Chains A and B, each alone.
Chain A
Amino acid sequence: MTGRSTAIICAIVPVLALTLGVVFANHLEPRILGLPFVLAWIVIWVLLTPAFMWVAYRSQRA
């Protein structure tokens, strides 16, 4: 797999999780650390995005 396509896949995953994913995650239960599930889902994906983008960054430089 080329660096470019790795980068694009790494980018698409968090974007889908924070758009379409929210539709399916839109529940109150199970609550995580007191957060409603949908809010926890969003926060987790916001925190995971830099990890995905770091992989994208490394793959573009390699």
Chain B
Amino acid sequence: MNAQIALGIVALVVVGTILLGLSGVRGVKMDPQEFIVGGRRVGALLLWLLLAGEIYTTFTFLGAAGWAYGKGAPAYYILCYGTIAYVISFFLAPPIHRIARERGYLTGPDFFADRYGSRLLGALVALLGFSMLVPYVTLQLTGLQILLQIAGYGTIDALRAVAIGFFVVALFTFAAGLRGAAFASVAKDLLVLLGVIFAGILLPIHFFGSPAGALDAVLRDHPSWLTIAGPNSPNGITWVVTTTILTGCGFFMWPQSMAAIYSARNEDTLRRNAVFLPFYQVMLLLVFFAGFTALEVMPGLKGPAADQSFMLVVQKYYPAWVLGFLAAAGTLAALIPAAGQLLAAASIVGKNVFADYGIARDPASQTRTTRILVLVVAVLAFGFWAYNRQTLVSLLLIGYNGIAQLVPGVVLGVATRRPPALAVGAGILAGLATLILFVVPKTAEIIEINTRITAHGINTGLVALAINIVVTAVLWAVIPKRASAAVEAAQG
């Protein structure tokens, strides 16, 4: 009975949101331009929701609480990096938007292909973005699996839950497109906000009298849980600071974030967004409270299981309809960003590989390619989920290590004097090679270096980014100026 009530509420809310998304796209012709960048006519409020919709995902709702539960203070980095990203975007987003409008970009990799005058660089960046979105979509799928299992009170197994999640995501993506996802974000943000207030304020009041009471209880049982460990621990202060820097710089490098920047109405819209978006971050504090409360009420969840933290508390101590609304909020927080990410991954490879290399020529076959690629990403994400269960935060950090390698190319790309495409491309490849060497170490020396870096808690993505920057700088200095000068002369 409980399962029917909770799952019924989830189903109702999801169907309602899909209808809302569809009402937002009714009467809008679905060519690639409209499907991917919303026709470049998205105003301040809708853009704010779109950016917030991309940003506040299952990662916020379950992942941040899971880390507060499973690791404690290292989770604080999540509050810092988004804020730093908005500060960076204040300076970086307006010129990106201006260039994109003048040159008619649709996708993130278009920026690379055009600014550096290299179709090959565009394709490389597209494939990188595509690969790094796979763990991000896996994160959303894992979130759906957790929510459906908990709302099912044990009647749905993990595989069935993730399969249902997969189908709902694909359906929503095909039906709504980007504009639809932005409209549906309105409903999502409202529900997620209510859910977070419930989990972060009412839960701790219920069990400990106040959020501060929950923190007191955590400190009694784990005295060092709420402060960051010293510089020589795996998730200590060095890790927190280097990870904040890497993820803060990488935040707007995601293809869906670049597309959101393009879709703004004007540069001023982007600046005002950058000023006010940090307020949205404060929600995370409540999510931490929820995680800390769960740690005291229901201790013992290990590894990826920590992501279920406060939802399990609600399942055990609250009526099914409360759980249902909370699971519905979480489902939307997974579904809408997943749609945006699937569209982004599919559109960059569809445009910058298939269309730019003449494999899909006319708009009809491009739209068809995009739809097939949406399914390909979803299947890959499903495979990644089956192959390797990780915490939600770890999944996002994998994606960030890779996507942050685009930072030098984007930052230098807005300047008038730019390095040659070869320097940027070689830098990206050097960064990726570094990451791969750390994951699959082949020689004793690399294992030794890797152990030392992680023992001090230095973020490996930041090490890769440093190597990337050095390679780009050296090649820029040695390669003759002619090729890049021609591109600069043509574009300014």
Which chain A residues have a beta carbon within 8 Å of chain B's beta carbons?
Answer: 7-8, 11, 14-15, 18-20, 22-23, 26-28, 33-36, 38-39, 42-43, 45-47, 49-50, 53-54, 56-57, 60
Contact = CB atoms under 8 A, between A and B. Distances in A.
B164 interface: no
A47 B216 CA distance: 24
Given A18-B80, A22-B228, A36-B226, A11 B237 contact: no
Contact of B274 (A19, A20, A53): A53
B79 interface: yes
A39 B226 contact: yes
Contact of B227 (A15, A33, A38, A45): A38
Nearest to B284: A46
Contacts of B226: 28, 36, 38-39
- Of A27, A38, A53, the most chain B CB neighbours within 10 A belong to A53
Chain B interface residue count: which class?
35 or more
Interface stretch (B146-154, B240-248, B297-305): B240-248
Contact of A19 (B76, B215, B244, B278): B244
Interface in B76-121: 76, 79-80, 83-84, 86-87, 90-91
A49 B87 contact: yes
Specify the main secondary structure of chain A where it touches its partner.
helix
B227 to A, nearest CB: 5
A19 B227 CA distance: 15
Nearest to B228: A26
A53 B87 contact: yes
Given A22-B240, A43-B282, A34 B215 contact: yes
B83 A34 contact: no
B486 to A, nearest CB: 30
Nearest to B78: A42
A14 to B, nearest CB: 6
A43 B215 contact: no
A37 B381 CA distance: 39
9 residue pairs, one from A and one from B, having the closest CB atoms: A34-B212, A36-B226, A53-B275, A18-B80, A49-B278, A46-B83, A11-B87, A26-B228, A28-B227
B355 interface: no
A56 B278 CA distance: 15
B484 to A, nearest CB: 26
Name the prevailing secondary structure of the B interface residues.
Answer: helix
B387 interface: no
A35 B275 CA distance: 25
Contacts of B314: none
Contacts of A60: 271
Given A34-B211, A39-B226, A56-B90, A46 B241 contact: no
Given A43-B285, A45-B83, A54 B237 contact: no
Contact of A33 (B212, B213, B216, B228): B212
Contact of A50 (B215, B216, B271, B276): B276
5 contacts: A23-B241, A42-B76, A43-B79, A46-B281, A54-B275
Contacts of B285: 39, 43
Contacts of B240: 22
Contacts of B79: 42-43, 46
A15 B248 CA distance: 10
Contacts of A49: 83, 86-87, 278
B139 to A, nearest CB: 23
Contacts of A33: 212
Contacts of A35: 212, 215
Interface in B258-306: 271-272, 274-276, 278-279, 281-282, 285, 288
Contact of A47 (B237, B245, B282): B282
Contacts of B210: 34
A9 B272 CA distance: 18
Contacts of B76: 22, 38-39, 42
B73 interface: yes
Contacts of A20: 241
Contacts of A42: 76, 79-80
Contacts of B282: 43, 46-47
A23 B51 CA distance: 30
A48 B273 CA distance: 15
Nearest to B223: A28
Contacts of A15: 84, 87
Interface centre among A20, A35, A54 (most CB of B within 10 A): A35
Given A33-B212, A36-B227, A60-B271, A14 B83 contact: yes
Contacts of A50: 275-276, 278-279
